[in-house]
Amino acid sequence: MSVDSPRSRSRPGGRSERIREAVGAAVLELFRERQFAFGVADVAERAGVHRATVYRRWPTRGELIAEGLSSFFQVVSVPDTGAWASDVHALAQTLAHFFSDPVEIGVVSSLAADSDPRASEVIQRHWQPYVEAMIAMVDRAKARGEVEAGLSSGRIVEMLTAPFVMRTALVRIPVTDRQIREVADLVIRATADDRHP
């Protein structure tokens, strides 16, 4: 062992990068086509890469899924209409579609059954930007006095998202437009600032 850490030179050159992208794309394609009924072997074949390569670079299933997600950003335009009620209705609609996406369902389902505790971190990282944007939306409404300031923004966001996650990934009964409206209305009622009716 030499003193100055001999730190092996990384080599993120052309081929490795090409493989990264091919594998990530393969994961996404498979989620779309087969929901979550596929294995590492399928990913390797689809990417035109040897199984061993996939296992070496993505030791856990979570890392492999995360790789797929890294090039997958749904356009989640968190609304900012200036009014809490219309924001919530628009967001509920958006969320219902977001969680109906085969990739999203596949990711959620796969990671839910992953015994590796780090699997849940993958989901959290993936959702983080969306969650932050939604919390910001709640906070804007608080600033406008439309939402009672003492309520937990995190809990409000959970109350709006969790029902859709549960329905699409677990119960697997499609949500109707009416139900989307009902959820939004309940959230609006829950958050209304009593002093500004």
Interface contacts to a copy of itself, rule CB under 8 A:
34-37, 108-113, 115, 117, 120, 123-124, 151-152, 155-156, 158-159, 161-163, 165-167, 169-173, 179, 182-183, 185-187, 189-192
d(CA 71, CA 190): 36
Are the beta carbons of 32 and 103 closer than 8 angstroms? yes
Report if residue 93 touches DNA, rule: CB under 7 A: no
Are the beta carbons of 164 and 99 closer than 8 angstroms? yes
d(CA 157, CA 134): 7
Report if residue 115 touches DNA, rule: CB under 7 A: no
Interface with DNA by CB under 7 A: which range of 10-18, 70-78, 142-150, 168-176? 10-18
Helices then strands, counting H and E runs in the chain, come out as 9, 0
Minimum Å distance from CB 68 to DNA? 15
Report if residue 189 touches DNA, rule: CB under 7 A: no
Report if residue 41 touches DNA, rule: CB under 7 A: yes
Report if residue 140 touches DNA, rule: CB under 7 A: no
Instruction: Work out what residue 166 binds among DNA, a copy of itself, none; the CB cut-off runs from 5 to 8 Å by kind.
Output: a copy of itself
Are the beta carbons of 103 and 72 closer than 8 angstroms? yes
Report if residue 186 touches DNA, rule: CB under 7 A: no
Report if residue 118 touches DNA, rule: CB under 7 A: no
Query: What single letter denotes the amino acid at residue 131?
Result: V
Report if residue 10 touches DNA, rule: CB under 7 A: yes
Are the beta carbons of 64 and 58 closer than 8 angstroms? yes
Minimum Å distance from CB 31 to DNA? 15
What number of CA atoms fall less than 13 Å from residue 73's CA on the CB side?
9
- The count of residues in the chain is 197
Interface contacts to DNA, rule CB under 7 A: 8-16, 19, 39-41, 48-53, 55-57, 59
